[in-house]
């Protein structure tokens, strides 16, 4: 079955450390997205990529970095520069620039300890 896989499901990080969240899709979707979700808030766009080797900043890109070396993969690195990284992170993908909506992964909950 095609889908989008995020790993790990839960991640703990010490302050000052970088951490990378994985996102893989086998839907042959061109576009991929990273969102951050905090309690009581909507989904906020961190980065998105519409094609391999190209990506754009979303509304809250500071303290995050991404790469898109393969169509299937769009990893997100949470750097030590991100002041409040504890959150639920969602990866999504879409075809045709999202005209048919996004398919979401099951999320990674990152906790900074």
Partner 1 sequence: GQQLNQSPQSMFIQEGEDVSMNCTSSSIFNTWLWYKQDPGEGPVLLIALYKAGELTSNGRLTAQFGITRKDSFLNISASIPSDVGIYFCAGQRGNQFYFGTGTSLTVIP
Return residues touching partner 1 (CB under 8 A): 6, 31, 35, 40-45, 48, 50, 58-59, 90, 92, 97-107, 109
**Max CA separation in the chain (angstroms):** 40
CB of 80 to partner 1, least distance (A): 25
Given a contact cutoff of 8 angstroms between Cβ atoms, the answer to whether 110 and 87 are in contact is yes
Report residue 112: phi and psi, to 5°. -95, 125
Q: Please, what is the minimum distance in Å from the beta carbon of residue 86 to partner 1?
A: 15
Angle at 52 between CA 29 and CA 7, to 5 degrees: 65
Half-sphere exposure of 42 (CA within 13 A, CB side): 4
The smaller minimum CB distance to partner 1, of residues 80 and 103, is found at: 103
Measured from the CB atom, is 12 or 100 closer to partner 1? 100
Which of 22/80 has CB closer to partner 1? 22
Nearest distance in Å: CB 98, partner 1: 6
Of 77, 78, 73, 87, which Cα lies nearest the Cα of 10?
A: 87
Between 71 and 80, whose beta carbon lies closer to partner 1? 71
């Amino acid at each position: 079955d095609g889908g989008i896989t995020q790993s790990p499901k839960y991640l703990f990080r010490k302050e000052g450390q970088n951490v990378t969240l994985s996102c893989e899709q086998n839907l042959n979707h061109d576009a991929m997205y990273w969102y951050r979700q905090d309690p009581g808030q909507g989904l906020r766009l961190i980065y998105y990529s519409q094609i391999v080797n190209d990506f754009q900043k979303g509304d809250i890109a500071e303290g995050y970095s991404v790469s898109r070396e393969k169509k299937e993969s769009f990893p997100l690195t949470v750097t030590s520069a991100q002041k409040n990284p504890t959150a639920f992170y969602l990866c999504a993908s879409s075809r045709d620039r999202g005209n048919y909506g996004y398919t979401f992964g099951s999320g990674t909950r990152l906790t900074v300890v």
